[in-house]
Amino acid sequence: MNVVVIRRPREDARSKTGLGRYADSIECNLESAGEPFSVVEADITLNQGLFHCLQNGVFAPMGQVRRMCRGRDVTIHATDELCGVFFPLIRGRRILTIHHVVKDDEGRGRLYNAIWRIATRTSIRFADDIIAISPNTAEDVKLVFHPKAPVQVVFNKPADYYHRDPSVSREMVVGVVAELIARKNVSESIEAFRILSTMDGMEDVKMKICGRGLEKDNLVRMVHNVGLDDRIEFIDGLSDEEMFCFYNSISLLFNTSLHEGVGMVTLEANLCGTPALCLKHADIPSEVTEASVKCDNAQDMAYQAYALLTDQGLYEEVSGKSIDAAKRFGDGFSETMMRIYKSS
């Protein structure tokens, strides 16, 4: 078995995305299994211009893949929907992972959405097997694209290094980890924190928002308008080691995202024993939010957060359930991926 992994370029330690972490896990899985594989990086960055995207995201990596496939029986795995854009021009068994179906309300712009849909439709049309990272994503793929190839749900397991570290002290801090775009709905987390900050005994509680994105300026302006500049801190990015300490040091994670393919930050926080609060109406897999505290709106989230921060017994109960649920998530990932690669 020879596998060619097509992925986005490797990111620096402070800029890792869900797509990058997934690709890393695919490589680690193949390496652990002792299977031969090659990696091709496709720099499909839609915001750097059409020429850059075509040259570095399509033509250059396509040439690499075609050379690797020449005279060999190869399985090609595109680790996200855009990395399969040149599937029509290469030979071999083609596997495509889809993380999320972009919706019009995400705030990325019409041009981005149009290019994404064309590229994804092409990838899906020529894929022999499709992996969806959650049932939600699988349903969206079937509804929007009507693929001929079978769609299989394979949950990716969170990174092993996330765990509760008792040597890291909890602080009275509410954390948010998200790309700062409309879909992530971070403004509702800020509103929930604003309400929480007015409650008895919450004078010292703070919020740290970790992430980058198009909505950052608007969110910074919102924080200033509600007078919370001294209590809400924005952090551009953290390395894996810093993120480990972040999850272990915050008391709660607010996740007010409206829809997610998975929502890995919830699981990472849970592995560190940090309770997560999410919205009841959010389109996030139930397997991810199994141990999360589900809230009706920002006001309800503030009240639920207050209960956790003022009741140690309740906090420990939710923390323990969060760890147990997150540990179960993604069991069998390695075995399932090997089975997919070897079936032909």
List helix spans (H) across the chain: 18-33, 50-54, 60-69, 110-125, 135-145, 186-197, 216-225, 240-249, 264-271, 298-310, 312-328, 333-342
| Tokens 């995202």 -> residue | 257
Q: pTM of this prediction?
A: 0.87
In whole angstroms, give the CA distance from residue 280 to residue 297.
8
Greatest mean pLDDT range, 98-107, 153-162, 272-281? 272-281
Q: How would residue 171 be classed by pLDDT, with cut points 50, 70 and 90?
A: very high
Domains of the chain in sequence order: 2-157+330-342 (3.40.50.2000), 173-328 (3.40.50.2000)
Structure-block tokens of residue 267? 């699981």
Q: What pLDDT does 54 receive?
A: 73
SS3 of residue 255 by DSSP: strand
Residue 32 has pLDDT above 70, yes or no: yes
The pLDDT tens digits of the residues spanning 96-116 come to 999 988 876 666 677 778 888
Contact between residue 81 and residue 151 where contact means Cβ atoms under 8 Å apart: no
Q: Is the pLDDT at 313 greater than 80, yes or no? A: yes
> What's the average model confidence in pLDDT over 280-292?
94
d(CA 7, CA 208): 31
Q: Which of 288, 292, 290, 261 is nearest to 276 (CA)?
A: 292
Res. 61 pLDDT band, cuts 50 70 90: confident
Confidence of residue 22 (pLDDT cuts 50, 70, 90): very high
| Res 49: pLDDT | 66
Q: Which whole number is the average pLDDT over 66-92?
A: 89
Residues 282-296 have a mean pLDDT of 95
pLDDT of 29 higher than 80 = yes
Q: How many residues does the chain have?
A: 344
How high is the pLDDT of residue 129?
A: 96
For tokens 């969206």, the residue is: 140
Q: Average per-residue pLDDT in the chain?
A: 91
Q: Poorest-confidence range of 64-68, 179-183, 320-324?
A: 64-68
Per cent of the chain over pLDDT 90 is 71
Per-residue confidence at 13, pLDDT binned at 50, 70, 90? low
Q: How far apart are CA 57 and CA 35, in angstroms?
A: 26
CA pair distance 160, 173, nearest whole angstrom: 24
Confidence band, pLDDT 50/70/90 cuts, at residue 327: very high
Q: Choose among 100, 144, 139, 145: nearest CA to 126.
A: 145
Burial 163-193 (b: 16+ CB within 10 A, else e): ebeeeeeeeebbbbbbbbbbbbbbbbbbbbb
What local confidence, expressed as pLDDT, does residue 103 receive? 76
- At residue 344, the pLDDT reads 60
Tally of helices (H runs) and strands (E runs) in the chain: 12, 12
Reported as type and span, the H/E element at residue 277 is strand 276-279
User: What percent of the chain is predicted at pLDDT more than 70?
Assistant: 96
Query: Which range among 21-25, 91-95, 113-117, 217-221 shows the weakest confidence by mean pLDDT?
Result: 113-117
